[in-house]
Structure formats: structure tokens, C-alpha cells
């Protein structure tokens, strides 16, 4: 009984364990908690401090000197001669992102820096912090920040990125990456469109005409794909063609009836299908 109670309280504050404060739950897509801000800044601040050696204690050193300079010029679009490498100046500038920035500013800054690859462990550490603070975002395959409904969704999308890269399907991978970026930005119809384009790009490798049904038929003939499963994939694919504004011009509606849940579902579904497609195609000898 004592062990059970200790396990129940693990990771909770005293007040939460006693039922005084509410239990922690995953944040909403646009929500940033005080905890997440503080923990992210604690890590970034530590990295900046660590670059300041005894000789240059008051200045940011490598690799963060170049990373922050790139943020200053290519993300914030500010004059290069206004960039300061003084540790206090650099720290205050970055600190404002995490203390005052909204979710888009914070995740956008992190995404830009992840692409700079300041250190080998940076992306992984950020992902661990997001998990720890119950953020609805994860770092996928060490390169792109994606909103997810669960850790299972994150694993599905990560698997698709890894397998597309291994199969040399760079176009499909880039479309999936764009789907993630559009979802993060709140452009849900664009995200669905990019998710479907990721599938189409992979299909074109298997079927020169780019015909989705023909590619599935080819797989059906060469592998043991079930007919009912094929119909399910065709139905899923049809979702993007039927909704105004996803595949067709906006003729009757001011905006397509696609919301966050639709976009998140399509990224997860298309990611799972892409992994399935790659593995089945390899088994059939259609991919190396």
C-alpha cells in the first residue's frame, strides 16, 4: 500500500497529491504554461552561460554566437550591426521570447534554432522538456516541431519521417514536414493538403501516372494487401478531394470546413499509411 501511494504521488506537487490543486494535464495547442516557459528558459540560459569561458566571460561563444546572429538577421530581420554578442544583451533578448512571447513566438524560435543544430543533444533535450511540461508539441525526428494528440501520434509521425528518409522519398518527406508546419501555424486546410501531397508524392514513385488507385492496385497484385483495406485507403484519400478548398478552388464557401482535429488526424493517418506504403513496396520489390 505504501509503494502504491508513493507511485501515485510521483511527479505531483504536495498540493496536487492532496487534491488541493488540480492534477496536471496536457496543454492546449496555443497554450504555454508558466512551467514550460521557465523550464525552457532555464535550459537555454544554461547553454548560453556555458559558452562564456574565463577569457570571454562577458560574451557569448560558439556555437551560440552564430546561432543567435542567424536568429537576429534571418528570423527577426534586424540589421547585423545591431547584433550584440555580450552575454547580458543576448540573454535579455532571448529571455523575452520565453517570458513574454506567445506560443507561436516560442515554438517558432525553437524550430529555427533546431534547424541550426547548435549541439547534438539540443533537439532531444527540447523534446524531453516538452514532454516533461506536458506540451502538446514534440520534436519529430530531431528536426521539426509538431503538435500531437498523444505520444503514440508522435511515434507514428517520427516513424514515417525515418522510413521516408531511408527510402529516399525526399519529396514526400518535405510535404509531410510542410503539413506539420501548417498545422503548427493553424492553417488546417493547408496542413491536410500537404499531408495528402506527401502520400501522392510517394505514390508517384510507385505509379508513374500518379494515380492513387492504380498504385494501390499494383500493391494489391504484388503483396497481400487486403481488398477492404484498399477501399479504406481510397475513402481516406477521397476526404481531401471532396472538401471545398482543400483540393478545389473556394467556390461556395468562404473557408474550407476543416478544423484542428481534422488536420491532426490526417497527419497521423497519412504518416501511418506512408510507413505502410514504404514497407509494402519494399516487400514487393518496388522500392530499394
The pLDDT tens digits of the residues spanning 82-140 come to 999 999 999 999 999 999 999 999 999 999 999 999 998 999 999 999 999 989 899 98
Question: Is residue 93 a contact partner of residue 75, using CB atoms and an 8 Å limit?
Answer: no
Note the pLDDT of residue 242: 52
Q: Which of 117-126, 176-185, 217-226 has the lowest mean pLDDT?
A: 217-226
Q: What is the pLDDT of residues 273-286, one digit of tens each?
A: 889 888 888 877 77
Helix (H/G/I), strand (E/B), else coil: 11: coil
Indicate the pTM of the whole model: 0.75
Q: What is the mean pLDDT of residues 16-41?
A: 73
Note the pLDDT of residue 138: 92
Element (H, E) at 38: helix 34-51
CA distance 119 to 109: 16
Q: Which residue has the higher pLDDT, 2 or 36?
A: 36
CA distance 116 to 118: 6
Note the pLDDT of residue 17: 52
Q: What is the pLDDT of residues 35-74, one digit of tens each?
A: 999 999 999 999 999 888 656 568 898 899 999 999 999 9
Average pLDDT, the chain: 81
Strand-pair category, 144-147 with 137-140: antiparallel
Q: What is the mean pLDDT of residues 18-37?
A: 71
Note the pLDDT of residue 112: 95
Question: Is residue 209 a contact partner of residue 168, using CB atoms and an 8 Å limit?
Answer: no
> Per residue in 38-56, is it b (16+ CB within 10 Å) or e — as a string?
ebbbeebeebbeebbeeee
**pLDDT higher than threshold 70 for residue 233:** yes
**pLDDT higher than threshold 90 for residue 199:** no
In this prediction, what percent of the chain has a pLDDT beyond 70? 80
Question: Is residue 268 a contact partner of residue 260, using CB atoms and an 8 Å limit?
Answer: no
Q: What is the mean pLDDT of residues 220-234?
A: 72
Question: Is residue 100 a contact partner of residue 72, using CB atoms and an 8 Å limit?
Answer: no
Q: What is the mean pLDDT of residues 214-242?
A: 69
Q: Which residue has the higher pLDDT, 278 or 229?
A: 278
Helix (H/G/I), strand (E/B), else coil: 249: coil
Q: What is the mean pLDDT of residues 211-237?
A: 72
Note the pLDDT of residue 232: 74
Note the pLDDT of residue 23: 43
Cell matching residue 1: 500500500
**Domains contained in the chain, CATH given:** 24-137 (no CATH), 149-288 (1.20.120)
Cell matching residue 208: 508513374
Amino acid at each position: 500500500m505504501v509503494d502504491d501511494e508513493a507511485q501515485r504521488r510521483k511527479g505531483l506537487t504536495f498540493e496536487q497529491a492532496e487534491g488541493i490543486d488540480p492534477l496536471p494535464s496536457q496543454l492546449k495547442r496555443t497554450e504555454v504554461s508558466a512551467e514550460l516557459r521557465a523550464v525552457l528558459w532555464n535550459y537555454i540560459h544554461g547553454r548560453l552561460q556555458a559558452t562564456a569561458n574565463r577569457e570571454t566571460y562577458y560574451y557569448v561563444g560558439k556555437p551560440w554566437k552564430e546561432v543567435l546572429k542567424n536568429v537576429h538577421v534571418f528570423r527577426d530581420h534586424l540589421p547585423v550591426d545591431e547584433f550584440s554578442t555580450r552575454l547580458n544583451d543576448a540573454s535579455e533578448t532571448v529571455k523575452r521570447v520565453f517570458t513574454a512571447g506567445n506560443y507561436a513566438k516560442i515554438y517558432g524560435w525553437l524550430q529555427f534554432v533546431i534547424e541550426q543544430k547548435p549541439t547534438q543533444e539540443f533537439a532531444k533535450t527540447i523534446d524531453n522538456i516538452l514532454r516533461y511540461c506536458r506540451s502538446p508539441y514534440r520534436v519529430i525526428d530531431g528536426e521539426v516541431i509538431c503538435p500531437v494528440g498523444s505520444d503514440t501520434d508522435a511515434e507514428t509521425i517520427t516513424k514515417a519521417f525515418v522510413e521516408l528518409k531511408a527510402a529516399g522519398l525526399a519529396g514526400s518527406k518535405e510535404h509531410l514536414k510542410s503539413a506539420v508546419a501548417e498545422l503548427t501555424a493553424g492553417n488546417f486546410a493547408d496542413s491536410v493538403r500537404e499531408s495528402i501531397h506527401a502520400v501522392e508524392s510517394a505514390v508517384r514513385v510507385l505509379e508513374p501516372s500518379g494515380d492513387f488507385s492504380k498504385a494501390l492496385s499494383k500493391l494489391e497484385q504484388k503483396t497481400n494487401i487486403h481488398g477492404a483495406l484498399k477501399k479504406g485507403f481510397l475513402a481516406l484519400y477521397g476526404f481531401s478531394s471532396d472538401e471545398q478548398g482543400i483540393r478545389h478552388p473556394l467556390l461556395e464557401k468562404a473557408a474550407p470546413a476543416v478544423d484542428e482535429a481534422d488536420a491532426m488526424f490526417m497527419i497521423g493517418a497519412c504518416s501511418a499509411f506512408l510507413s505502410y506504403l514504404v514497407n509494402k513496396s519494399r516487400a514487393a520489390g518496388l522500392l530499394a
